[in-house]
Amino acid sequence: MPQAAPVKSPRTPTLPAAQVAELDAAVADLRTGARTWSHLTLDQRARLLGRLHASVSAVAEEWADVAATSKGLEPGHPLRGEEWLSGPYATLVALDAYRRTLQALARGESPLKGVKTDAAPGGRLRAHVFPLSPVDGVLLSGYTGEIWFEPGATESEVRAGAGLAQLTPTEPGGVGLVLGAGNVTSIPVLDVLYELLAHNRVSLLKVNPTQDSVVPVFERALAPLIEPGFLRIVRGGGDVGGYLTGHRGIDHVHITGAATTFDAIVWGPSSGPASGATTRRRRENRPKLAKPITAELGGVSPIIVVPGEWSEADLAFQAEHVATMRLQNSGHNCIAGQVVLLSSDWPQREEFLAALRAALDAAPARPVWYPHGDEKLAAAASDYPDAEWCGDGTRALIEVAPGEAAEALENTEYFAPVLGVVALAGDGQEFLDRAVAHANDELAGSLGANVLIDPVTQAALGDDFERAIADLRYGTVSINSWTAFGFLTPTLPWGGFPGATVQNVESGIGVVHNALLVDRIERAVTRGPFRPFPRSLAPAALSRSRGRSFSVLPKPPWFVTSRTGTAVSEGFTRFRMDGDYGRLAATLVRAFRA
């Protein structure tokens, strides 16, 4: 097929002419590729994802190695398993889930066929979308995932609409620009897949400079998309992104990043000579960006600890859980827990804080690697001079007493190992309702919220607990399971709570992942075991947990304190690559040594 003529941007570029020509040619290739995509049948698209599964599997080990090394995790470091899970594993399970969706649609079936639905609080419908296979139930024993739909959405509407753009596969969605995240290597790939399958949109992926070292891996992993013109990958900084967002050949922009970057794209710079024009545009609601944009942005994620009667082992396990929420990827996560909402009336408050300090101290040392991370730590030290510095001195623990100012902690996404504890009065339902209101009203963003509650207390609260969960205005709510589990589960949607606008973007607009391609989504809800194996076998846990507490995992492999996390994370990924049950059995043995 002859190459289409370059589609040039009307802007005067500040880039070298050769680079401009290269970018224009990439956009032109994609406009041809968009037409090619519209001619593929659903069955052909499913087979294409099968080829992608093979090409990702072929580079998975190199992918994890390059990503870990780029973050300062040298061979032998106990946390290198993070890069297996957040890179190739997340990509492989997404490819499998999307392929099953396409195969169902090709048979004339809804992707939700066989998925259980029931009622959620507030007149909502929910779908139980994890686990959907026995393998999922084995690998992630005790974890479940639900999609809650908008109030008023009916089961017939949801099932009929499942498939999104794949219900009209011949309608092209144009060319999208994906401005890739710089912190987690699977995010750019997953965003490209969602553009293609949810919107029939081929993508120009601009990789964040922090991931330049992974680009050769991406090029081989995604060759089945690159060869037919469904994807082009380019490097560059803000100047390249600025040129491409204004390119007339780009129909849509998607960004994973910070709200400040989003605002600069949509409205213009907030400082310098052009800031006055930016202020006028915002006041007059005249965005600088003249095309649609979606976004997944960060925020300040709460960890609500509901008071209960916890054993010493409970305190230690959940303290490690909280430490993981903050320290995974050195805190450079949009879903990192940042503010622990803790009852000032809980008799075990000081015991829990002691266990939390111990967990922060005990986690393996690692670099604060993301650009400007040291500046974020310095800002926290300036904001809170009395902060405790744990471990290797890079982990801040900030306690805010009742009545003390917490504005900086609650409105600054530090994107570094900074964990705050904010005291709220109350016990039981009173505390939970106060914490929910505080999270909704005082903390920046709406991406994810975490709730830790023992099964006895949850059973005592009954339906009021579920009502409180419904009141949380977050895109993912995780009960006894970190919101990262929602990120890793492809059948769940990922994004901020609905209602954000370009004027007030909160944690973003739209969703990604969502491999069942369902519409009218309000949120995802995940649930995990309060107690790991073997304590999950205790009669009280089984009888009072409504079936949600049992687990055969001694410790999840993503815990920063897991002794076998790297081996188990690699083993889980290799099983997703080849389906070898013999090797999986050996991996599960390692999991029991965590």
Please indicate, yes or no, whether residues 467 and 591 belong to a single structural domain of this protein: no
* 591 band by pLDDT with thresholds 50, 70 and 90: confident
pLDDT at 8: 56
- Cα distances (angstroms) measured from residue 219 to each of 215, 227, 411, 537: 6, 10, 38, 46
Q: Using CB atoms within 10 A of its CB, is residue 427 exposed (0-12), middle (13-18) or buried (19+)?
A: middle
Confirm whether 199 is domain-assigned.
no
Please indicate, yes or no, whether residues 582 and 499 belong to a single structural domain of this protein: no
Confirm whether 232 is domain-assigned.
no
Please indicate, yes or no, whether residues 520 and 591 belong to a single structural domain of this protein: no
Residue entry with tokens 């393996």? 364
* 544 band by pLDDT with thresholds 50, 70 and 90: very low
Confirm whether 47 is domain-assigned.
no
Mean pLDDT of 505-517: 98
On the question of pLDDT at 320 being above 90, the answer is: yes
Domain, as residue range, for 509: 301-562
Q: What is the mean pLDDT of the chain?
A: 94
pLDDT at 149: 98
Please indicate, yes or no, whether residues 581 and 472 belong to a single structural domain of this protein: no
**133-173 pLDDT, tens digit each:** 999 998 999 999 999 999 999 999 999 999 999 999 999 99
* 479 band by pLDDT with thresholds 50, 70 and 90: very high
- Cα distances (angstroms) measured from residue 107 to each of 49, 97, 518: 17, 16, 17
pLDDT at 535: 78
Please indicate, yes or no, whether residues 364 and 460 belong to a single structural domain of this protein: yes
CA 145 to the chain's CA centroid? 14
**408-433 pLDDT, tens digit each:** 999 999 999 999 999 999 999 999 99
Please indicate, yes or no, whether residues 553 and 567 belong to a single structural domain of this protein: no
pLDDT at 77: 97
Confirm whether 279 is domain-assigned.
no
Confirm whether 85 is domain-assigned.
no
Confirm whether 481 is domain-assigned.
yes
CATH of residue 307: 3.40.309.10
pLDDT at 173: 97
Confirm whether 111 is domain-assigned.
no
Please indicate, yes or no, whether residues 588 and 443 belong to a single structural domain of this protein: no
**Whose CA is closest to 196, among 163, 170, 173?**
173
On the question of pLDDT at 369 being above 70, the answer is: yes
Mean pLDDT of 340-367: 98
**219-268 pLDDT, tens digit each:** 999 999 999 999 999 999 999 999 999 999 999 999 999 999 999 999 99
Please indicate, yes or no, whether residues 447 and 545 belong to a single structural domain of this protein: yes
Mean pLDDT of 477-501: 98
Please indicate, yes or no, whether residues 539 and 499 belong to a single structural domain of this protein: yes
pLDDT at 538: 65
On the question of pLDDT at 505 being above 50, the answer is: yes
Residue entry with tokens 């606008």? 501
Mean pLDDT of 381-387: 95
Please indicate, yes or no, whether residues 515 and 593 belong to a single structural domain of this protein: no
Number of domains in the chain: 2
As a whole number of angstroms, the distance between CA 283 and CA 261 comes to: 19
pLDDT at 135: 92
pLDDT at 545: 43
Please indicate, yes or no, whether residues 435 and 568 belong to a single structural domain of this protein: no
Please indicate, yes or no, whether residues 349 and 474 belong to a single structural domain of this protein: yes
What pTM, to 2 d.p., does this model score?
0.95
Confirm whether 322 is domain-assigned.
yes
Helix (H), strand (E) at residue 590: helix 581-591
